[in-house]
Structure 1
Amino acid sequence: MAAKDSVKKAEEKKSFSKYFRGVKSEFKKVVWPTKKQILNYTLIVIVACILFALLLTLFDKLVTFVLSFIYG
């Protein structure tokens, strides 16, 4: 019974170390964006959020106007 436990623990250690070696090798393959790209992407997201908020506000005002016109 003790031999099985020690073999099982050794296999777990191997699987953990194999997993982390795989993670490390995958991180080496990642192409990280430059600061300029991050800035551009951030500005695009901020502008898109502002435009969407304005569009949603405009749509809300339009629906409110139409409903107030219909129901007085």
Structure 2
Amino acid sequence: MSQVKGFFKGVSAELKKIAWPTEKEMKTYTLQVLIFVVVLSIFFFAVDLVISQVMSLLG
């Protein structure tokens, strides 16, 4: 039981050391991720479209 208590004390101590992002930083990071996902989605859609067109021409 003592080991379990020590584990949770250690977890609590480590969580206090974390530098949590501010609200502004979090909004910026979220926007960057969303833009990246949209750009990659468009890219893969275009690649898929090109490959399907090539495949239809070949077969």
Q: TM (normalized to structure 2)? A: 0.87
Within a 5 Å distance, the mapping from 1:22-41 to structure 2 comes to: 22-41=10-29
Unaligned 5+ runs, structure 1: 1-11
The residue that corresponds to 2:8 in the other structure is 20
Partner of 2:45: 57
User: Rg: which structure is higher?
Assistant: 1
Q: In structure 2, give the amino acid aligned to 1:50.
A: V
Equivalent residue, structure 2, for 1:4: none
| CA RMSD in angstroms, aligned pairs only | 1.0
SS at match of 2:19: coil
Which position in structure 2 is the counterpart of 1:46? Answer: 34
CA shift, 1:19, in A, is 1.4
State, as a whole percentage, how many aligned pairs show the same letter: 29
Q: Per-residue deviation at 1:58?
A: 0.3
Shift >2 Å, 4+ stretches: none
Q: Distance in 1 between matches of 2:52 and 2:23?
A: 43
